Amino acid sequence: MKRLILLRHGQSTWNLENRFTGWHDVDLSERGRQEATEAGRLMENADLAPEAVFSSVLTRAIRTAFMSLDVLDRLWIPMTKDWRLNERHYGALTGLDKAETAEQYGDEQVHVWRRSFATPPPPLDADDPRHPVHDPRYAHLPAATLPGTESLKDTLARVLPFYESDIAPALKRVDTLLIAAHGNSLRALVKHLEGLSDEAITGVEIATGDPLVYALDDHLAVTSKHSLRDGQ
Ligand SMILES: O=C(O)[C@@H](CO)OP(=O)(O)O
């Protein structure tokens, strides 16, 4: 049996400030650091020892991976950082206060931007300094690949090929694999792993710092799932 652990980063400073974050690179808050360490303890108590780790290229996910693996004394395992595990890009909403945006555009519109499957937020222009074409960490990628906004559907369209090309082959080689990523990139993966409909995934939320453990058979089909924090 294989184990795939999905870990959303601990609380970030912009989670704390209730701002749309997406690809903006904020770090963990103090509580987020505690959650990352606690995630390591939960894995240790469950006798889970990841043999490889994948993360996005965003600091909050990388630090969560390191802080949880540090508890397990497994900072040495192979790590792959890839932009395709990044949070969904929040477009022109990036940096805005979520409550103020709801006051301005209405709860319903903001809910559609946050949780609909296929409707992206308004896009950023390529000359906006928040657009990823200006960020050196993506300099090796063609500009056309870099999004100015993303829906969950768009996020799934880059997470899934990466899962198939890199994560699934790694899972064939090791028994326990950790992915440290983000609320919406992990929701995309959950949709795929659990075969959820476009409608069903809109109701799924993933908590910060709570390791979700999927048991998979040798064909990488899911046989069970539970959260290490609440056991469900
Ligand atoms: O701001 C974000 O990038 C995400 C995750 O924190 O927010 P939401 O849950 O609203 O999609």
List pLDDT tens digits, range 131-141. Answer: 999 999 999 99
111 flagged as catalytic:
no
% of the chain exceeding 90 in pLDDT:
99
Could you tell me the CA-to-CA distances from 120 to 67, 86, 205 in Å, in that order?
A: 32, 16, 18
Q: Helices 98-105 & 107-115, crossing angle to 10 degrees?
A: 120
Q: Which of 60, 119, 184 to probe ligand 1 with, by most ligand atoms within 8 A of CB?
A: 184
Query: Which residue has the least CA distance to atom 6 on ligand 1?
Result: 15
Query: According to the model, what pLDDT value does residue 231 have?
Result: 82
**Pocket probe mutation, ligand 1, options 58, 90, 111, 208, max atoms within 8 Å of Cβ:** 90
Tokens representing 55?
A: 């993360």
| CB-neighbour burial class of residue 185 (10 A; exposed 0-12, middle 13-18, buried 19+) | buried
User: Looking at residue 86, what is its pLDDT?
Assistant: 99
Per the annotation, the verdict on 103 as an active-site residue is: no
Domains of the chain in start order, with CATH, are: 2-18+27-90+150-227 (3.40.50.1240)
| pTM exceeds 0.95 for this model | yes
Catalytic residue from among 35, 87, 150, 182: 87
Q: How far apart are the first and last CA of the chain?
A: 19
Considering only CA atoms, which residue is closest to atom 7 of ligand 1?
A: 20
Residue 230 predicted with pLDDT over 90: no
Model ipTM value: 0.97
Predicted confidence (pLDDT) per residue in 26-78, tens digit:
999 999 999 999 999 999 999 999 999 999 999 999 999 999 999 999 999 99
Burial tier of 142 (Cβ tally within 10 Å: 0-12, 13-18, 19+): exposed
Q: Is 109 annotated as a binding residue?
A: no
CA of 14 to the centre of ligand 1 (A): 9
Closest protein CA for atom 11 of ligand 1: 114
* C-beta of residue 15 within 8 angstroms of C-beta of residue 33: no
Q: Distance, CA 20 to ligand 1 centroid (Å)?
A: 6
- Band the pLDDT of 130: cuts 50, 70, 90: very high
pLDDT of residue 232 exceeding 90: no
21 is in an annotated binding site: yes
- The average pLDDT across 213-223 equals 97
Determine whether the annotation assigns residue 14 to a binding site: yes
Q: How many CA atoms lie within 13 A of 161 on its CB side?
A: 8
Does 10 appear as a known binding residue?
yes
Give dist(CA 82, CA 212) in Å, integer. 20
* Six-digit token string for 85: 């595990």
pLDDT in tens, 147-198: 999 999 999 999 999 999 999 999 999 999 999 999 999 999 999 999 999 9
Ligand 1 pocket, CB under 6 A: 15, 20-22, 87, 90, 114, 183-184
Pairing of strands 222-227, 176-181: unpaired
Instruction: Tell the residue nearest (CA) to atom 5 of ligand 1.
Output: 183
What's the average model confidence in pLDDT over 96-116? 98
